[in-house]
Structure formats: C-alpha cells, structure tokens
Chains A and B, each alone.
Chain A
Amino acid sequence: MYSQYKLQDDSGLLRETASQTSGPFVHIGLALEIAGFASRDDEIWEELAKDGAAGERIELVGRVFDGNGDMVRDALIELWQADSEGNYISRFDNKQPFSGFGRSACANDGDFHFYTVKPGQVDFDGAPMAPHVNIAIFARGINLHLQTRAYFDDEAEANDACPILNSVPSPERRKTLIAKKEQGGDVTRYCFDIYLQGENETVFFDF
C-alpha cells in the first residue's frame, strides 16, 4: 500500500510535507472568534501575559500591507518569544501567568494585537541578541509562511550589537525589523507594521 514515507531524496531522507497557503478562512481553524464561530473552552490567542506575569507589560500591534499598499485583512500572525528573563517557556498553558506563544489575526480594523511582556535577552553563541519576538505570517496568497522578528526601538544599543540583526546585509533594511514605541495608554505599546512587498519591504528570514 502507498505510504508517504517512501518519498525520499537522494540521501534517503524523507521529504518535508509540502506547504500550502492557509487560505481565506484560516480563522475558523486557528482564530475561531474572528470567524464568528464560538470558541472552545481553551484557545490559543493573543494574550501571552496574564495577571502575575513577571516583566514589563507591553502591547504589540501592527498591520500587514501587500505590494499595492493595501491592508491585508485576513492574515494570521503567530508570536514566539522568551519571557522577561530571556528564557523560552515551552509549556503553553493559559492557566499560567505567561506562555511564550500566541496568535492574533488581522481582521476587523486590520490590526493584530498581542498582550505580552517585553522579552529578555537571549544569548546566541555567547553574545546577547537584542530583545525580540519571532513572528510568523500566514495568509491567503502566502504559499509558505513568512518568518520575521520584531525588535524594539528603545533598545538601540542592544539592537546595534545584535548578531542576528547585523546579519541583515543592508543597514537600511534592518530598520524594517524595529517596532516603534507609541506614547499614551496605560501599557507601553509598540507598533510593528509588516510590508510583504515593495517599498520598505520587511526582512523575512530563512531558518
């Protein structure tokens, strides 16, 4: 009988299952509330930090734009970040104060929102990376999700020294990875707009 296990490359390794777009209705699967669908008892959503979470509370907001400058209103955004001490908390649990993973969607006004804490520094080969969050973008028209990072504009010194940020060849393009602090409100807010294509195109990573 047919088995996909047999799909091997020349070295005998299995081939990764092919990616496909998440399509226009990704929300019914991964962001139920946005689809107008009743939530289940426990959902993966945009609040990573809850009461009692250690660290500075922040809101991360942003929008996604296509190559025509039009807002992408059907993207799903996934966030993965360290806690305020720079440790990755693998266990996802809405009952604990902080989980390192969350999801949001560009729907309604086109904004995605995360309620989290500012991540601490994580080392890379013995050198600190600047505080950052990893972001994955899924949407209709995106065949394989795009991967980027958001850094923080009030961490200029750490950003200048970050080995990953410095691996982006163009200093001009590094700027597309810096979220901008916004004034006002009870919680510090950072804005990170993502440009899929064209002028100010966001840097996307292969890893």
Chain B
Amino acid sequence: MSQPYPFFLPRDRNWQPEAYTPGYKTSIARSPRQALVSLHRGSASERSGPVFDGLEIGKYDNDLLMNFRTEGTVAGLPIGERIIMHGQVIDQFGKPVPNTLVEMWQANAGGRYRHKKDNYLAPLDPNFGGVGRCITDSEGRYRFRTVRPGPYPWPNGINTWRPAHIHVSVMGPSISTRLITQMYFEGDPLIPQCPIVQVLKDDDAVETMIARLDMTHSRPMDCLAYRFDIVVRGALQTYFEE
C-alpha cells in the first residue's frame, strides 16, 4: 500500500549535539551509552505526525504582553524590553512549512520562570506568564510579542549563567522533524560562555540559534523586533515509491 508520507533528509548527528556533553553536567547521567539504532527507512510511524488544525488557539496565545494580565492592576502590562519575535519555519530545501505549531516559553525580564520549581530570588512579574504558541501561516511565518527575558544563574559550575533565551518548540510536517531548541539574542556575551550552548561543536550550529535584531519589523515608540528563522529537516519527494 502506498503511503502519502514523505521521507526526510537524515538528521546530521555531528551537527546536532551529542548526548554526552560533560560540560553540561546533567547530560552525564542522562545520555545513552549504547548507539542509537538506525531505522534506515522510516515507516509510516516516523514519517507521519500531528497537524494542529483542531487546536483552539486563543486570541492572545502568541502575545505574552497580553496573555497574563492580572485583573485589577493599574497598568496590567509586564515590565521589560518589549519585543516582537518573529520568523519563518522552512525546511532544508528552503521550502516554507505552513500550518505548523510553534510553541515558546521563557523567563521574565529578571530571569525568573513562572514555575513552582524556580526559586531564584528575582521576583515574578504579576503580569507576565511566559508561554506562547501559534500556528505558522501559509508562508511558514510565525510571530510572538513578548518581553526580552533576563539571564539567570543555574547550578552547573560555581558561577554559571544562562544567556537570555526563549525556548522554542516546533513540530514540522512529521514527528521526524520535531525539534526543540533555544533562541538566543544577537550580541549577548554570555552565549559563548554557556555550557548548554557549548554542547554544539560547530560555531555555525550555534549561529542557527541566534536571533537577529530586526529594525525593519520594529514599531517606532513601541517595541523592537528580533528575527528567528527555524530550519527543519527537508522532505524528499516520493514519486517512485510503490
């Protein structure tokens, strides 16, 4: 029986981080010691994936300036650097990936997460939640409005700080293209010091995670913009499959 599902370009596991990266201590006990087993030709299981047409996306789901407003406060807006984060999801052939789910989460302007396990002393912002989601449009474009997150300390080395970052999750056309990454900000001097960034061996791979200041999409007297394009694995054509 023919399957409508495409094959995908193999994931370059030399480009992507290895599992065991001892500079990032938690990876030591959480990395497999055995080789991955390659499925040389993915089955329908791997080549298919969910499409989130039926997920009800709320009006402010992609607007973190608005989606955690505390009722009864005077201003009701989060504190911090107002930014638009936007970009395009494309595949390795440069083809847009429309109608795919992009999710993001982040700390507030002071580097504090609204998570019950985050006990960093920087305060929560009563008007900031830190979660967003949207579906890419017909050209693969997505857009969020938020505040730029702050760096924060974490227990790895004795004085290790994460660069400002936004976690980004994208599904793409199949579970084969599923990807979670982190978006960093152009020019942040913490980037080259970070053990989590340094799990990548190739400086060019780090570049794929750095959003660029994008004055053309900023709004005068309102907010700056950063552009972050996301490349997922390329889908091959299946003309000759039986």
Contacts and interface: CB of A to CB of B under 8 A. Distances in A.
How would you classify the secondary structure of chain B's contact residues: helix, strand, loop or mixed?
loop
Interface string A120-161: 001111100100101010111111111101000000000000
B28 A5 contact: no
Interface in B172-216: 175-176, 178-182, 196-197, 199-200, 204-209, 212
Contacts of A202: 32
A134 B46 CA distance: 8
B200 A18 contact: yes
B180 A90 contact: no
Interface residues of B, number: 89
Given A14-B90, A80-B45, A140-B26, A94 B15 contact: no
Given A26-B167, A40-B61, A124-B44, A204 B231 contact: no
B184 to A, nearest CB: 9
B32 A204 contact: yes
Given A122-B44, A144-B19, A206 B208 contact: no
A46 to B, nearest CB: 14
Given A22-B167, A25-B113, A80-B45, A17 B30 contact: no
Given A36-B116, A90-B50, A207-B39, A15 B92 contact: yes
B204 A80 contact: no
Given A2-B212, A129-B45, A143-B27, A167 B53 contact: no
B51 A90 contact: yes
The binding surface of chain A is classed by DSSP as loop
Given A14-B231, A16-B232, A35-B114, A29 B26 contact: no
A144 B1 CA distance: 33
Contacts of B24: 21, 141, 143
Question: Among B118, B208, B209, which residue has the most Cβ atoms of chain A within 10 A?
Answer: B208
Given A1-B212, A15-B12, A88 B44 contact: yes
Given A19-B180, A30-B103, A37-B114, A72 B30 contact: yes
Interface residues of A, number: 88
Given A7-B208, A20-B181, A23-B167, 19 more contacts: A20-B17, A22-B169, A23-B196, A29-B167, A32-B131, A35-B115, A41-B58, A42-B57, A94-B55, A122-B45, A141-B26, A144-B17, A145-B180, A164-B43, A201-B33, A204-B32, A206-B37, A206-B38, A207-B38
Interface of B: 1, 9, 11-13, 15-19, 21, 24-34, 36-39, 41-46, 48-58, 61, 90-94, 103-105, 107, 113-118, 129-131, 167, 169, 175-176, 178-182, 196-197, 199-200, 204-209, 212, 228-234
Interface of A: 1-5, 7, 9, 13-30, 32, 35-37, 40-42, 44, 66-68, 70, 72, 74, 78, 80, 82, 88, 90-96, 99-101, 122-126, 129, 132, 134, 136, 138-147, 149, 164, 167-169, 173, 196-198, 201-207
17 contacts: A17-B179, A18-B205, A19-B16, A20-B182, A21-B27, A26-B180, A27-B115, A35-B116, A40-B58, A67-B33, A91-B51, A93-B55, A122-B45, A142-B27, A167-B37, A197-B29, A205-B38
